[in-house]
Amino acid sequence: MKFKLDENLPVSAASVLVAAGHDVDTVPGEHLTGRPDQDVVTASSAAQRVLISLDVGLGDIRAYPPGSHAGIVVVRLADQSAATVIKAIGDLASLAKPESLSGAVAVLQRGLLRIRHP
């Protein structure tokens, strides 16, 4: 599966996904840092990558309806320390088949993944 990590996530989270066999890009690596959310979603979709972010606004299905993009995963954690976020992203693969995230809007919380499919 192809993922893009938003600028608000630890870059080291990419290694967790790569170790699980995924193709991972980052917003800073694509020189999209500071760009509006819509630009990041558009770039992710153009590259057919599921965007993973801490930005809860990306979970708004009115603004980003399922099926209108390659997929969005919003990580919602009370503790947003790097270690907690990296663990949650590592848990992502055990909570759902990565293919189920294509075109969907998902919210990842500790031990729970809610997915809105197209």
Q: What is the pLDDT of residue 110?
A: 82
Exposure of 4 in the CB half-sphere (CA atoms within 13 A): 28
Q: What is the CATH number of the domain that holds 17?
A: 3.40.50
Instruction: Please give the tally of structural domains in the chain.
Output: 1
DSSP 57: G
- The residue ranking higher by pLDDT, 94 or 98, is 98
Mean pLDDT of 78-91: 93
**What distance in Å separates the CA atoms of residue 77 and residue 90, rounded to the nearest whole number?**
14
pLDDT 10s digits, 61-73: 999 999 999 999 9
Q: Is the pLDDT of residue 96 over 80?
A: no
Range of the domain at 111: 2-116
- pLDDT tens digits, residue range 11-63? 999 999 999 999 999 999 999 999 999 999 999 999 999 999 999 999 999 99
Rounded to an integer, what distance in angstroms lies between the CA atom of residue 39 and that of residue 15?
A: 24
